[in-house]
Amino acid sequence: MPSDRKSSTEPKRKTAEQTKQGGKDKDMGAALRSVYQKTVNEAIPDEMLDLLGKLG
């Protein structure tokens, strides 16, 4: 009796919506990495360094 279900070994095809969402995910990831990198590269204000120095 043949089954109408696809075999689990067959590659799954992406729908247009899944492909579109994957592109959005990549764009969002790139944007988040960019913002994070800019934040990491920012200089620490002298006032903050002074306050941190007082804690130690």
Note the pLDDT tens digit of each residue in 15-43. 777 777 788 899 999 999 999 999 999 99
| The predicted structure's pLDDT at residue 1 | 55
Global pTM? Answer: 0.48
Q: Which of 54, 34, 35 is nearest to 46 (CA)?
A: 54
Residues 15-45: b if buried by 16+ CB within 10 A, e if exposed: eeeeeeeeeeeeeeeeeeeeeeeeeeeeeee
